[in-house]
Chain A
Amino acid sequence: MTTMTDGPAVRLRGVTKQFGDHTAVSSLDLEIPRGSIYGLLGPNGSGKTTTIRMIMGILLPDEGEVSLFGSDPDETRRSSVGYLPEERGVYRKMKVIELLTFLGELRGLARAEARRRAGEWLERLGIGEWADNKVEDLSKGMQQKVQFIGTILHEPQLLILDEPFSGLDPINQDVLEEIVRELNGKGATILFSTHLMDHAERLCERVCLISRSRKVLDGDLRALKRNESQGVVAVRFDGADDGWLAGPEVELVETVGSDLHLLLRDGAETGPILERGLRAGADITRFERVEPRLHEIFVHHAGAEAAADAGVPLASAGGSRGGGA
């Protein structure tokens, strides 16, 4: 589509959506630049899927506006979007090739062209000989591959993936990541949502963190980390239990590899923590400010309640975390 108007791939302005008494998304602003890999992050139930459905035009916002490539998310623009919902469905009784042809047609491809591309992709992902089988005869892993193909058959300019890694086997996670990077290399914009911050950290250039229907913060991932680098201390020690870590300065203690990460409250000093450690007789081999992980940024900004939504364990006064490695 060469007739696209200017503007970011996706822009949301003051978007609000309510279901009865429940506010799913509350005055959300979002801007996804073209060509970026963008992560929409937050715990389950924070409003990610509703946001994506509004971007896809499946739901209409109660307030605010959504635009794709600078205009309404109408049919022409939706046909340049690839969408993989969290619940990835198939017509189980259809033949694989028929299903893919149908999905391609829905996205505006001519029938013959859709069929040809589907055949090529099936070959490329190693399931070409299954083309004439019914979808229900395929293994779950193979069905997942069919679902990816259905999403990208029309070479979308914007690829939207809702919790793409949930339920995927490791091989298919790699396959999907490879496809995502390839499409992005060709200029496509990628938006994906996840509650798994580690995946986002590896893939995304930009992120938006949302919690309880509201945006917490957004921006370039590296810039975010730079700005937040005062807040996390990596610690490694032997010879004491970890009770000394808990204190008024520390918001959260987490195990990361062989280290413990202390997420500090704003303006907290590290000296008192170190003193407590020495007094407790810990043999400290590492005590260093480090770049925070996305997870830690999220907890720091969204607060304890949101962290509880996300299932993040918080350090308590009793300091129940076990030792590092």
Chain B
Amino acid sequence: MNPGHVFTVVRREYMERVRTKSFILSTIAIPLFLLAMLLIPAFMAARGAETRTTLVILDGTGVLEEGLGPRLEEADFNLADPDVASLAADSLEALIEAGELGGILVLDQATMTEGHVVFRGREGPSTIRSFGLQRAVMESVLEVRLREAAPDADVAAFLEGGELEVELVGLEDQDEAARDAARFTALLGVFLLYFILILYGQYVMRAVLEEKRDRIVEIVISSIRPSELMLGKILGVGGVGLTQLVIWVASAAFMVLMVVPMLVVSLPSLENVQELVELIPAVETAVLLLVFFPLGYFLYAALYAAAGAMCSSDEEVQQAQLPITLIIVAAFMLVITTMDGPAPAWAQMLAMFPLFSPIMMFSQATQGLAPMWQVVLSVVLLAASVPAVAWVAGRIYRVGILMQGKRPTLPELVRWVRQA
């Protein structure tokens, strides 16, 4: 293995890829998309404040208006001044026609018994506003009804949905908010790993197939060893993936640290995000990512490289890569479906095995759900399996890149590995 040869291949692979339009676009587009996701709701909220609809409440029940007023304001409606509200129905309708009043909300006995409300206006509220309106009315009705039935109850607490206090048995005390943050981080990391393992693994596979199909590979391996070429390709493509990952993580960090605090002023709901971010176990996650990403990538990239080398066409390679991709998908699905709480015992065992650990153990370890020995064992097994898998894949690669024609059967593959 000559490092100079590997480096030559890495540089070509890396430079050719980062210069492509698709790389530049996807690298920039994702952070922009994230930024838009943050900015658009803030923008909408700011705009919504300017276009509040002004309402007059005609309360035939006499008991609802007191509670309903504040609720409507919270749902982004304005209440008309008392002097307007006391005008006769004709005058109100004239104001509506003139566009100076948004509408009249008519409450009567049917509101108290069936939740039936009449909104009179030149145009109806938007769907979202309708929900807000209905909810405000319903909560007000329920509040009144509950007070009548159970004067000693904390009605406000009921209406907010009550409170579930979780007490875990046998686990160390962990702040629930911190656990949420860890779960959120694990999920984000799992998505990232899933995405990058498949995407960049398949890039390696395609690159190998292209070299084989375009018949350039024979020229290259007449100068350098096939193992040097394979390693160079994996490192080159991996470097591109790492570049993209760094840009994404850096821009996400920038947004969370710089943009979110600025937006919190105009969009109070973002405060939750900010609190969550402050609880993220950043160092642990970074360490785990730095262990599982490279090891997992090498493992899968070697398998994908072998798949690319044994095929001669796009159709063939789509089939050959399926088992590899399915394992990644399975690991991902297992994590997603067992996300709410500790994983079942069999999933915990599975998470220690090399093909699954990059995603499953990362998730469990980030959330602090796996004992230390399991984490260490899974990393040791993974690290040990990388050279073993690379050795087998390298032999398949070495024979495969010079073979044209039909994809090998399993016995043929075994022979390739033995004779290479």
Contact = CB atoms under 8 A, between A and B. Distances in A.
Nearest to B415: A20
A89 B217 CA distance: 8
A83 B12 CA distance: 20
A106 B8 contact: yes
Contacts of B8: 102, 105-106
Given A58-B402, A93-B16, A79 B215 contact: no
B249 interface: no
B224 A89 contact: no
B337 interface: no
A84 B223 CA distance: 12
SS class, residues of chain A in contact with chain B: loop
B1 to A, nearest CB: 10
A107 B8 CA distance: 11
A231 B393 CA distance: 55
Given A58-B402, A94-B16, A106-B5, A85 B220 contact: no
A87 B312 CA distance: 14
B4 to A, nearest CB: 9
Contacts of A83: 219, 222
Contacts of A107: 223
Given A89-B214, A106-B8, A150 B219 contact: yes
A78 interface: yes
Interface in B224-263: 224-225
B218 A106 contact: no
Contacts of A78: 222-223
A53 B226 CA distance: 13
A222 interface: no
B127 interface: no
SS class, residues of chain B in contact with chain A: helix
Contacts of B345: none
Contact of A106 (B211, B214, B223): B223
Given A90-B214, A102-B12, A85 B2 contact: no
Interface residues of B, number: 20
B47 to A, nearest CB: 46
A81 B222 CA distance: 9
Contact of A91 (B216, B218, B222, B415): B216
B212 to A, nearest CB: 9
B106 to A, nearest CB: 70
Interface in A50-104: 53, 56-59, 75, 78-79, 81, 83-85, 87-94, 98, 102-103
Residue of B5, B221, B222 with highest tally of chain A CB at under 10 A: B222
Contact of A58 (B214, B222, B415): B222
- Range for the number of chain A residues in contact with chain B: 20 to 34
Interface in A38-58: 53, 56-58
A229 B222 CA distance: 40
Nearest to A81: B222
A257 to B, nearest CB: 37
A87 B218 contact: yes
A85 B215 contact: yes
A154 B299 CA distance: 36
Contact of A88 (B215, B217, B222): B215
A243 to B, nearest CB: 45
Residue of B8, B215, B216 with highest tally of chain A CB at under 10 A: B216
A87 B16 contact: no
Residue of B12, B16, B216, B223 with highest tally of chain A CB at under 10 A: B223
Contact of A90 (B5, B16, B216, B222): B216
Interface in B7-43: 8, 12, 16
A16 to B, nearest CB: 14
A87 B5 CA distance: 23
A87 B12 contact: no
A66 to B, nearest CB: 13
Contacts of B415: 20
Contacts of A92: 214
Contacts of B214: 89-92
A56 B220 CA distance: 11
Contacts of B220: 106
B216 A106 contact: no
Contacts of B216: 89-91
A215 B169 CA distance: 82
Given A85-B218, A91-B216, A75 B224 contact: yes
Contacts of A90: 214, 216
Contacts of A91: 12, 16, 211, 214, 216
Residue of A56, A59, A78, A106 with highest tally of chain B CB at under 10 A: A106
Interface in A189-216: none
A57 B217 CA distance: 14
A118 B222 CA distance: 19
A103 B219 CA distance: 9
Contacts of B225: 75
A268 B415 CA distance: 51
Interface string A141-176: 000000000100000000000000000000000000
A20 B222 CA distance: 23
Given A89-B217, A90-B214, A102-B12, A75 B2 contact: yes
A85 B223 contact: no
A88 B16 CA distance: 21
A108 to B, nearest CB: 8
Contacts of A102: 8, 12
Contacts of B218: 53, 58, 85, 87, 89
Contacts of A88: 215, 219
Contacts of B402: 53, 58-59
B396 to A, nearest CB: 15
Given A79-B223, A87-B218, 13 more contacts: A75-B2, A83-B222, A84-B219, A85-B222, A89-B211, A89-B214, A91-B12, A91-B16, A91-B216, A92-B214, A105-B8, A106-B8, A106-B224
24 contacts: A20-B415, A58-B221, A58-B402, A75-B2, A75-B5, A75-B224, A79-B223, A84-B219, A85-B218, A85-B219, A87-B218, A88-B219, A89-B217, A90-B216, A91-B16, A91-B211, A91-B214, A91-B216, A98-B12, A105-B8, A106-B5, A106-B8, A106-B223, A107-B223
Interface of B: 2, 5, 8, 12, 16, 211, 214-225, 402, 415
Interface of A: 20, 53, 56-59, 75, 78-79, 81, 83-85, 87-94, 98, 102-103, 105-107, 150
Closest 7 CB pairs of A and B: A89-B215, A89-B216, A87-B215, A106-B223, A83-B222, A56-B222, A85-B218
